[in-house]
Amino acid sequence: MRFHLVTLFPDACDAYLSASILGRARQEKKIKVEYQNPRDYVLNKWGKVDERPYGGGPGMVMQALPIVRAVEKALKGKKGKSAIIWFSPAGKQFDNKEADKLAKYDELVLVCGRYEGIDERAKQMLKTVAPVKEYAVGEAVYTGGEVPAMAIVDAVTRRLPGVLGKDASVEERRVAAHKVYTRPETIEYKKKKYRVPKVLQTGHHAKIDAWRAKAKGAQK
């Protein structure tokens, strides 16, 4: 799979997307990550990509055409199944089911807005290039689209064959609890002992799964 991030800050994204499991997936060519900077597609000599909003209001708005040109460049000549990811608080909430759906694509272009957002006409124009999927990643407001974009790359990548070694490593596809433990069995801290639940030491898989399911339900 190939991810294209349309962003003003590719270096900030690449630090995270080159580390740990994602970095290994890139080295093993299970995924490719490419960047398009909207500043490379402006016609002014200053690299200016924003303007004041019509109707007034605080902040600046990213112009439509640099975004559209960057997306067109990303998908130029690509023949696989592709989609454009647009971030908006009004979009569909991104979750594990949506990550499974996106994992079936060949090319994903993630448009990272900044300032007060992107001229709405960019989205309208891009619908003629590829399907546009509009997501909200969590309920918080972010400074830009880079954090949600990296979250989607992370969630989708770990679902691809071979990235985690085996399908059972994808937590949401097995019985998993929000509470996990490791060695040693007993930790003493400030004269109090903290122990691993006995059931996890029994080796009885059915009882362990039942405990995990109960613990997971209690956390909701």
Residue 76 class from Cβ within 10 Å (0-12 exposed, 13-18 middle, 19+ buried)?
exposed
Q: Are residues 74 and 146 in the same domain?
A: yes
pLDDT over 70 for what percent of the chain? Answer: 92
Q: Are residues 54 and 31 in the same domain?
A: yes
Q: Are residues 102 and 198 in the same domain?
A: no
Q: Are residues 109 and 196 in the same domain?
A: no
Q: Which residue has the tokens 């067109």?
A: 72
Q: Are residues 186 and 102 in the same domain?
A: no
Token pair belonging to 175: 């019985």
Tell me which of 167, 185, 205 is where a domain ends: 167
pLDDT of residue 219: 58
pLDDT band at 26 (very low <50, low <70, confident <90, very high): very high
Distance between CA atoms of 29 and 146, rounded to whole angstroms?
22
**What pLDDT digit, counting tens, does each position of 34-78 carry?**
999 999 999 888 889 999 998 888 889 999 999 999 999 999 998
Residue 185 sits in a domain whose CATH number is 1.10.1270
Q: Are residues 33 and 90 in the same domain?
A: yes
Q: Are residues 214 and 124 in the same domain?
A: no
Q: What is the mean pLDDT of the segment spanning 20-42? A: 96
Contact 187, 194 (CB under 8 A): yes
Domain that holds residue 187: 175-219
pLDDT band at 1 (very low <50, low <70, confident <90, very high): very high
* Angle in degrees, 0-180, between the axes of helices 146-157 and 20-27, rounded to the nearest 10: 70
Q: Are residues 18 and 118 in the same domain?
A: yes
Residue 94 has pLDDT above 90, yes or no: yes
Q: Are residues 112 and 22 in the same domain?
A: yes
Tell me which of 127, 147, 167 is where a domain ends: 167
Residue 106 sits in a domain whose CATH number is 3.40.1280.10
pLDDT band at 115 (very low <50, low <70, confident <90, very high): confident
Q: Are residues 180 and 148 in the same domain?
A: no
Domain count, the chain: 2
Tell me which of 145, 167, 189 is where a domain ends: 167
Q: Are residues 163 and 179 in the same domain?
A: no
pTM, 2 dp: 0.87
- Pairing mode, strands 2-6 and 107-111: parallel
pLDDT of residue 57: 84
Contact 130, 121 (CB under 8 A): no
Distance between CA atoms of 43 and 36, rounded to whole angstroms?
16
Q: Are residues 106 and 213 in the same domain?
A: no
Distance of CA 122 to the CA centre of its chain: 21
Choose among 9, 12, 29, 25: nearest CA to 156: 25
